[in-house]
Structure 1
Amino acid sequence: MDSLLQFFENPMVIKVAKLIMWILFIIIIIGLVRKTLKKRIDNISIRYKAQKGVEIIGYVLIIFLILMAITIDSLKDYTIIIGLFTAGITFTLQELILSIAGSFYIFFVRVYKPGDRIEINNIKGDVIDIDSIYTTIMEMGEWVSSDNYSGRIVKISNAFVFKGPIKNYSMDFPFVWDELNILITYGSDTELAKTILMNSATELLSDYTEKSKAKWEEMVEHYYIENATIEPTIAMSLTDNWIQLNVRYITDYKRRRNTKHTLFQHIEKAILKTNGKVNLASTTLQLLQIPPIDINLKK
């Protein structure tokens, strides 16, 4: 019993206990402040940033308390202990340290933010949360075609920002180029077909074209990049079976699938109104019936 009392009366034990109590107190305060912000702030984006700011401030306070609690009289001993401690932490928790460093890199360099559509580590989706260790993504693709959600939520370590490329569909330039191939038969009026495609693309995508021009001018001023053609363009190629007309256009990164669907519907209706001057092509196979044959066998 006496040895137990002596243990709890040890100044080092008292100091560690106080440190743990302060850390728990800060964690409780962080939780309470997050709940208060959730109730008081209606805007999702502002509420999310405020909650993350409170978390970061709390982590900084905890790290500061730990550093203040370390008191070593000898500078030599301090250097040795810190060196051994750093080496051990680096070896055993290198992935965790890299993830935490990645979270600071993401926030301060703005590699991506919640709401961005990214592709990282061969996983594509919308960022729905970023914490100190993981980035949470609503996955797209896999067994679902085009840019549709698969329904799975994927957590990716923040360390991946240092390990490979990050494809961001919405940062700085929230538009993407897409293509639509229209196949017409030989003998169709190609000039009329190209006019239909160009008019349809220009009419339906004029809003995207105007908005993307302003964004692209900002890109040219900010980055070392050449100017690009924002307006819809058409390229024609000949194949063994049909004439292929390729329409290249710009659209919002979140509406790529819907834009292609609407554009194709508009073009199809316009082609049907040409009364056969332009015909859509497809791979067909015609089976001919063999006429009856009389066979006489003679011995």
Structure 2
Amino acid sequence: MTVIEQIKEWLYTNPFMWSVIKFLFILVLILFVIQLLRRYLKKRISNTVIRYKAQKGIEIIGYVLLVFLAITYFSGTIKDFTIIIGLFTAGLAFTLQELILSIAGSIYIFLVKVYKPGDRIEINGIKGDVIDVDSIYTTMMEIGKWVESDNYSGRIVKLSNAFVFKGPIYNYSQDFPFIWDQFNLPIRYGSDMELAKSIVIKMASEILSEYTIASKSQWEDVVNKFYIEDAEVEPTLAIRLTDNWVEFNLRYIVDYKKRRLTKHLLHDSIRKAFEKTNGEVVLASTTFELIKIPELKIRSEKSKNPQ
């Protein structure tokens, strides 16, 4: 008996395995068709947003079709199908619990709208812009690490969707695409403090006016949607006295993607305005005051050994 005849006889005596092989063939065929459709849409659709949603829609439809075919295909050939599926699911859940949790996480992200491509988030200690969300992974363009402020590091991070159930998720852009930022200015004692305050508030109001106006209406929507108190979106200035200088603390609202640029503009404009006061307002620096210099007695070798 040849090998082919042995295989045929084995498949004939094991109809279930033959059904599994046929189903695997159908599975591969459907996955192949999904990839072909994704490539076709990628070439045909120029709009990035529409193309991304269309590709994700094809992917979801394909997975749903596979699940439906699996149920209808096997339920007609296996007795007590529900018992077998229950045992199979229990074993699968134990061995592939991380994978199942990732798939559940992707469904949770989609239904609850935790985040979406284009959002800036921080999850599991990683901060970045979401560039893709599939059935298992969230792909992010990393921000920070060895790069200062909110700049891209250049690394693309793939993070399991299971992490949405394991810790907090910080979303910088959902509902309210603004954040509060602040920095300190050291002003030397003896400067005209009222003039300094007016300069800082004036510069901040001029540079931040666009963000202040845009954030007011959106903050009202946040207050109406959530149980949260109203907050001040106008630039505010607080003063603290230290041993070396008067510390100005400027707090303001800014677009979450323009934090670094805005801070640069504020620093530069305030510095130039202070320089135009002809010494009335001076930025301070760390100083040391010497109370007393100890006396030093120096004896030469000649004085030690007189001849």
**Alignment TM class, shorter chain as reference:** over 0.9
Q: Does structure 2 conserve the Cα–Cα contact (< 8 Å) formed by 1:196 and 1:267?
A: yes
Residue 202 of structure 1 and its aligned partner are, at CA, apart by 0.3
For 2:83, the aligned partner's letter is I
For 2:25, the aligned partner's letter is M
Q: Give the superposed CA RMSD.
A: 2.5
Q: Distance in 2 between matches of 1:101 and 1:291?
A: 77
Pairs within 5 Å for 1:138-287: 138-284=141-287
Residue 204 of structure 1 and its aligned partner are, at CA, apart by 0.5
Residue 152 of structure 1 and its aligned partner are, at CA, apart by 1.4
Residue 294 of structure 1 and its aligned partner are, at CA, apart by 9.3
Q: Distance in 1 between matches of 2:246 and 2:299?
A: 45
Superposed CA deviations along residues 9-48 of structure 1, whole A, max 9, x for unmatched, are 4543443233222212211211111111111212212211
1:42 aligns with 2:46: yes
Q: Distance in 1 between matches of 2:276 and 2:199?
A: 11
Superposed CA deviations along residues 120-162 of structure 1, whole A, max 9, x for unmatched, are 0011111111111111111111111111111111111000000
Q: Does structure 1 conserve the Cα–Cα contact (< 8 Å) formed by 2:120 and 2:173?
A: yes
Superposed CA deviations along residues 182-223 of structure 1, whole A, max 9, x for unmatched, are 111000111111100100000001000011111111111111
Q: Does structure 1 conserve the Cα–Cα contact (< 8 Å) formed by 2:121 and 2:169?
A: yes
| Matched residue SS, 2:36 | helix
Query: Which range is displaced more, 270-279 or 5-14?
Result: 5-14
Q: Does structure 2 conserve the Cα–Cα contact (< 8 Å) formed by 1:178 and 1:256?
A: yes
User: Which residue among 125, 129, 140 is the counterpart of 1:126?
Assistant: 129
Q: Does structure 2 conserve the Cα–Cα contact (< 8 Å) formed by 1:7 and 1:13?
A: no
Number of aligned residue pairs: 298
Superposed CA deviations along residues 39-73 of structure 1, whole A, max 9, x for unmatched, are 12122122111111111110111111111122267
Q: Distance in 1 between matches of 2:196 and 2:25?
A: 76
Q: Tell me the TM-score normalized by structure 1.
A: 0.92
Q: Does structure 2 conserve the Cα–Cα contact (< 8 Å) formed by 1:90 and 1:97?
A: yes
1:87 aligns with 2:81: no
Q: 1:14 to 1:294 in 2, by over 3 A?
A: closer
Q: Distance in 2 between matches of 1:158 and 1:166?
A: 12
Q: 1:18 to 1:4 in 2, by over 3 A?
A: closer
Question: Percent of aligned pairs with the same residue?
Answer: 60
Q: Distance in 1 between matches of 2:171 and 2:154?
A: 20
Unaligned runs of 5+ in 2: none
Q: Does structure 2 conserve the Cα–Cα contact (< 8 Å) formed by 1:188 and 1:278?
A: yes
For 2:27, the aligned partner's letter is I
Q: Distance in 2 between matches of 1:98 and 1:117?
A: 23
User: Which residue among 23, 28, 36 is the counterpart of 1:24?
Assistant: 28
1:55 aligns with 2:55: no
Unaligned runs of 5+ in 1: none
